[in-house]
Structure 1
Amino acid sequence: MLQTIKNISVTYDAINPSNTFTNGDLLHGRVTVELAKDAKIDTLFIKFKGKANVRWSERHGKRTVVYHDKEKYYKSEQFFIREHKDNDHFGAVLLKNEAGQPYCDVVAPGTHVYPFTFQLPQQNLPASFQGAWGYVSYFLEAKLSRSMRLSSKAKAEIRYIPMPDMTIPDLMTPQYGTKDKAMKVFTSGNVSFTIHTERMGYYLGEGIKVVAEVQNNSSRALKPKYSLYAKYSFFARHKRRLHTNEIIKEEGEPIAPSTNQTITKVLTIPPSLDMSILNCRILKVEYRLRVYLDVPYASDPEIKFPIVILPLPQAKEQAAPSAPAIGFAGYWNPGEAGWNSTPYTAPPPPAYESYALYPPLPNYPGKS
C-alpha cells in the first residue's frame, strides 16, 4: 500500500563557515513535505527548542538508581496549518504563504516547501554541549498530523555558541597565589613559590601566560610542572557526577638547590575545547590551572587557579546564496514512537567537530 507521506524534512541555512549561531541571530529554514497522493493535513508546525538533560545510573547494593534532571531554556512554535479547535498551542504564530494567504490544509501530491524564520534569544544561554552523562541541545522539530494517523516528524540540531559573557566576576582580574613547604625525610630545607597570571578569562586559542617565582632553599633540584584540566559536573537529585580530563601537561627546566628563579611559561589553549558553561543548573564545564613543583619522594606543593574559557566573538558574516541547507529528513513510520531521521552530512567546522573531550560512556542518555 502506497504511503501518503513519503518524506518530511527540516533544513536550515548556514550563516557562517563554522555553521554556528549566537545571540539574536536569524535562523532561516524550511519544512519540506513530499506526498504520494492528496492529503488532508490537520496540523503542520515547526518548533525551535533549547534544553539541557542529564542522566546516569548507579548501583546501590542490589538496586540500580537512575539520576535524571532536565532544564528548559527556550521554546517557540510556528504553524503552517492548524486546526481551529487546537487550543494546545495558544499564542503560537500562524504563518502565511507568499501571497499572504493561509496555507491550504488539503495538499496535492508532490513536493511542498514551507519556509520559516526564528530569531535566537538575545540573552546568553548555555552553549551546545555533549558529555558523558548530559548535554545541552538546541534543535528544530517539525510535526505533521492527520486524523486517525500517526504523526510524522523530522528534526534538525543547531549548534549554539553564545557571545562571550564579560559580566562574570573577576573575569579580567589578575590572579596571584603563593605556597611554602618544608621538606622532610629524603629532602631537607624548604621551598616557596608564587604564581601570577594576567587574568581568569581567556579566548579559545589564546595563550595563558604563567609567571612563577621560585625560591628553592632545599637540597634537591625541583622541576616546575603545569597542567590545565577540565571538570565536567552533572547534577540530579542532590547528587553530582564528576569527570575530569587533563588538557595540557607541560614542564619546565629543573631549578637547582639554593636558587631563586623567575620563570615564564605560556600555555596555548586548544581552539577545539568546549567553552566554559557556568550558567546551567544541572551541568557545568569548568577549567583549572595547576602549577606545582615536582618533589621526589614527597607531596608536591601546588597552586590552582580557575580558568574561564570564552568563545571567540562571532563574526556576523552572511552565507553565500549557494550555502548548503543543513538538517534531518524524517520518514513516516507506522510503528514510530518518536522520530526517525537521516542526517545531511555537512562539512565539519574546523577543529571543533566534537563537543566532548571524551567519548560518551555506555549509559549516556539518548536525546529525546
Structure 2
Amino acid sequence: MRPTFSIIFFTVVSGAGYGLWLLVGLAHALVWPGCMLDPATGTVDVQVSVCRMPSTLTLAWAAGFLLVSAGLLSSLAHLGQPRRAWRALSQWRSSWLSREGIAALLAYVPATGLFLIWLGQQSPGHLVPALILENETLVRVTGALLAAASVVTVFCTANIYACLKPIRAWHNRLVVPAHLAFAALSGMLLLWALAALPRWDLMPAAQETVWSVLLPFAVIVLAVISAAIKLAYWKQIDRPSGLRTAHAIGLDALGNVRSFEQPHTQENYLTHEMGFRIARKHSRKLRMICLLAGFATPAILALLALLLPALGAFAAWLALLAGMSGIFLERWLFFAEARHAVMLYYAAHGD
C-alpha cells in the first residue's frame, strides 16, 4: 500500500496523545488525588498542594489534547469532502472507522472533566463546587474513564486495518497489540520528557524519586514489549503466502495460471495505490533503523538515566526524539510492506 503522510501522521500523533491520556487517566484513577484531611474540619483540604494534579500531569493532559486534536484533524486531509466526515459516524454497527470516530469524540468528555477539576483546584469553590473537588471517587472514576476511552479509541484504530482480509500484512493478530504498545510507549516517552521540565509546584522528595525511577523503568519495559511484538509481526508477514494469480481470478483448480499480457498498458489507480512495493534489501535496512531508533535507543537512554540520574533530562528528550522517529518509520513500513490481494491479478507471482 502506498504510504500516505496524513494517515501516518494521524496514527502516530493521535496514538501518542491517547497514550498520554491513558497515563494521565491511570494516574488519577490509581494515585491522584492524594488528598489530605483537614484535622480541624475532618474534610478534604483542597488547598493542600499534594491534593492537586501535579504540574507534569497538567502538561501531559494539555499535550495529549493537542496531539489527539492535531491527529484527528490531519485524518481529514485525505478525504475528498472533509465536511462530510460526520457521516462516517453513522455506520458504527459494522464499521471500525465509525467506532473509532465515536470513541475519539467520547474521549473528550472525561478529558474535559479532568480539565474542569484542574480549573477548580486553581480557585476552589468558584469555578467548580467544592463538593466535587472533595469527591475523590469522582476524580478517580473520571480518570479511569479517560484511560478506558483512550485504549478503546486506539483499539478501534488498529482494527480498521486488522479487519481487512484482502491485505495479508494487516489481517494479522499482532496488529492490534502493536498499535496499543506503540501508543503506550510514545505516551510514556512524552511523559518522561515532560517530567524532566522545571515544575511550578512543589513535590515531596519521595515522590520526586518515584518519578525519576518509575518513568525510565516503564520506558524500558514498554520498549522491550513493543520490539518483541514488532519482531514477531515481521516474522509472520515474511512467510510466503502461497497465493498466486489463479486465486485472484478463481482458477486455482487449474494450478498455476499466467496471463499472456497485462490487464492495463499503463499504471492505474489500483496499481498506484495498492501495488506500492519496497525492495527487500531496503526493507531490512529500514527495519533495523526502526528497531535501533524506536526501541533500543530509548531503552538504553532510560537505563542510563537510572544509573546516572544527573543525565535524566538529557536522556528523556533524546529518547523522545529517537523513539518518535522510530515509530514514524515503523508506521511508514506498516503501509509500505502491505500489499492488497488485488495485485495478484496484475502479476504472475504472489506475495
TM-score band, normalised by shorter chain:
under 0.3
Give the alignment's TM-score, normalised by structure 1: 0.24
More helix as a share of residues: 2
